[in-house]
Structures are given as structure tokens and as C-alpha cells.
Amino acid sequence: MSLAIIGFVLMIILMYVLIREKLSPIIAFIILPLIAAIVAGFGITEIAGFIETGMETMLSTVILFAFSISYFSLMSEVGLFDPIINFLVKKTGKNMFTIFMAIVMVTFVAHLDGSGATTFLIVVPAFLPICKKYGIRPQALLGAMMGAFATMNILPWGGPTMRAATVANVETGDLYSFMIPAVIVIILIAFCIAYVVYLIEKKNGAGIIAEGSDSFEDNAVAEKTNRNQNIYWFNLILTAVMLILLFMDLAFPLYAIFMIAFAIALVVNFPNVKDQSKKIKLYGTNAMVMCMTLFAVGVFMGVISGSGMVEAMATAIVNILPAGIAPHMHWFMALFSVPLMMMLGTDAFYYALLPIIIGVVEPFGVSPEVVAATFLLTATFGTFVSPSVAAVYVGLGLAEVSIGDHIKYSLRLVWPVSILVLILSTIIGVIKF
């Protein structure tokens, strides 16, 4: 059986068990790729190498997740976000629409550095409490971020644009300038996605705050803040400094910043050693399930990448299509760029699939720049719904949402708008049919 067929069967089964919740993600990401590797004929030594490689690529993300979750759990417990939440509630009143517009705008700013993990770390802890207050489901918070993620993910210094520009042999700045009219379309669509999420949540019954809850919580926050005024301001300054450092291009890895910040915050807020031990155990327990999931994803990524399944699938996809559509292959492939991104992951999508498509259509007068723009503008919507993107699990852990629920909620939003962007970008001339 060919590697491509095994890879496709693996991805179909994986998506099925995740969305239908037939298996725990941890079990699915470990067992299924191992079975696939064995069926493909790889030996124990080769599979062990795949796993080791996958673990190495996932280690920094797991550390980042463990300490970021612990840090924000601590800050939530000591009431850092309470005044912000109540301020937003007072300003928005009963208007959930304003909340969703704020989510989009904050995501725009937070994703300026191009790091999906950093963006989740900034946006989710800030808005999750207020979403809970209004009865907005956490997967809706993630869904509302998807449009802004798509817009900012293709900035000239973003990973996808650099990958695509490298493959197409063009400057990243030139590629982005070429796409700007379509980027404006995506910006508008980002707000439209948030509005659709608002309508979905309103229909689901969100937006009702229990009578008297505002005044009760305001008093509780005021009492907490007055009792620990100095510590509160210390926590606020520490968090602000930490977030600024996340945006700066430092030699320090992101996870080291969170490790240091968590250690400082724990000592200041809980000076007693016994209390510190209790909190570490509590926060560690909360983070453990997602850390295990991330390591399991490392097994999955190591196997499908190291075995060559991803490259085989990319080649097979191109070969399956009828020869008659060869001049327009980039356009027809872009119709499925979201699920392809979810299956292949960012690196394989741009380094394995994109060069093949460029080679097919270039003889028909379609420039590599156009092909790169086509895939960037459409596939960007699938990046942060993909189970193959490690940063997604940081957001899932913060929001306490399963990968299956996230895909079920957000895929119905991002895939249609990806096709809409393809059509609109073709009309305005950025994408050539």
C-alpha cells in the first residue's frame, strides 16, 4: 500500500475520531500514526527515530504551555483580571456584539509578532472570564479570533509568507504588497466572522447575566483589590512587562519568560513554602492533560513527516486531478486549502505542496507569485484550526476546549470564507483563474 493512501486513511480516521469524540486525542495521536507507520512497513528503529524527532520539535511548546497556563491560572485566582472584566461589562452593557468586535481588534494587535501561541496567551485569558459571564461558549471565543488570525498570519514577517516567498523565489515584501487589495478583503471578513459568531451565540442563549451579579461581583472585587492593593499593582506591572517581553525579539525563548514570571509571581503572592507547593501541584495538575496531548501530537507529527507520508499525499493530490484543469490547478486546489492545511500542516503545505502546484501551472503563464498569493490568502484561515499546528493547543488549553469541539465550531466558519476570499480576490485581480 502506498504511503499516500496510508496517509490519507490516517488523516480521515484521525479527523473522524477527534470530531466525533470516539477516542481521546492523546490516544488518537499516539496509536493511529504508529499503526500507520507499521502498515507502511517501517521498522522499530525507524519509528523510534520519527518519535524522537517529533518530541524535539514539540518540547519548547510543551514547556511554554505548562508555565503559561500556570501563570494565568495564578493571576486569575488572585483577581488580576476582575477589574478589567467588570469595566468591560459596564462599558458594553448587554451588548455582546461589542465584546466580539473587541476580541477581533485585540487579536489584530496581539498577533503583530506573528506568534500564534503569544496571541492566544494574550487574548484568551483577557476575554474568557467575560465570555463566561455572558454565557458565551469558549469555542466561540476561539472562533471569533480566526479571521484576525488569518489577516495577521500573512504579514511579511510571518512564517507562512516567508515560506511561500522562499518557494516562489520572490521577496516577502513584494509578495505582501501584491496581496494588499485582498488583505483588505480579509480584514473586513474578520469582522464578519466575529459577527456571525455573535449571532450563533445569541441564538444559543448567550448574553443573559444573572440579576444582581454585577453589584455583588463589583463589591467582591473592590474588597479584594483594597485588601491587596500593593500586590495587585505588582501583578499588573509584572504581567505588562512579561507581555512586552513576549513581543520583543530577545535571545530568551518565550517559555523562559513565563518560567521566570511564574516563579516571581508565586513567591510574591504566596510567600509560604507550603502554599507554593500546593499551588504548583494544583496548576501542574490542570496543565498535565494538555501537555500530554502536545507530546502525543509530537508523535503524530514525527511519524507523518519523517515517514514521508506528507510529501506523498501532496504529490498524490496533484496527480489525482484531471489534466484538463492543469492551467487552473492552483485555483481549484485553493478551494480545498483549508482542509489541506489541516491535514498537511504549515511546513508541508508550503514546502511540499506549493512547489508542485507552481511547477504544474507555470508553463501556462501563471507566475509563482500568483500561486503563492493564492495559497496564502486562502489557507491562512485553516492554520489555527489545524490539529497539526502546535500553537493551537495553547489556545485550546487556555480556553479548556477540545480539538474536536474547536474544529466542529470553527471549520464551518473558516472554510466558506476561505472560498469567498478566493472568489473576491479573483474578481479584484490578485488571483488569476
The 3-state secondary structure of 339-375 reads HHHHHHHHHHHHHHHHHHHHHHHHHHCCCHHHHHHHH
Q: How many CA atoms lie within 13 A of 263 on its CB side?
A: 6
Identify whether 162 is part of a domain. yes
Q: Is 213 helix (H, G, I), strand (E, B) or coil?
A: helix
Look up the domain containing 103 and give its range: 61-291
Quick check: is 196 in a domain?
A: yes
Q: Is residue 120 part of a domain?
A: yes
Residue 218, amino acid: D
Q: How many CB atoms lie within 10 A of CB 391?
A: 22
What value does the mean pLDDT take over residues 127-148?
90
Q: Is residue 370 one of the residues assigned to a domain? A: no
Please report whether residue 56 resides in a domain. no
Residue 1 lies in a domain: no
Residue 432 lies inside a defined structural domain of this protein: no
**Model confidence over 88-128: pLDDT tens digits?**
666 665 678 888 998 898 888 778 766 777 788 888 888 88
pLDDT value, residue 337: 92
Task: Label residue 346 by pLDDT band (50, 70, 90).
Answer: confident
Specify whether the CB–CB gap between 287 and 69 falls below 8 A: yes
> Which amino acid would we find at residue 100?
F
Give the integer Cα–Cα distance in Å for 75 and 268.
12
Q: Find the range with the poorest average confidence among 85-94, 233-242, 263-272, 302-311.
A: 85-94
87 has pLDDT over 60: yes
Domain annotation covers residue 398: no
**What is the tally of structural domains in the chain?**
1
Q: What is the pLDDT of residues 174-227, one digit of tens each?
A: 888 899 999 999 999 999 999 999 999 989 887 766 444 454 444 444 444 444
Residue 52 φ then ψ, to 5°: -60, -45
User: CB of 164 within 8 A of CB of 350?
Assistant: yes
pLDDT (tens digit per residue) in 347-383: 778 877 788 888 888 888 888 899 999 999 999 999 8
Q: Is the pTM of this model over 0.75?
A: no
| pLDDT higher than threshold 90 for residue 319 | no
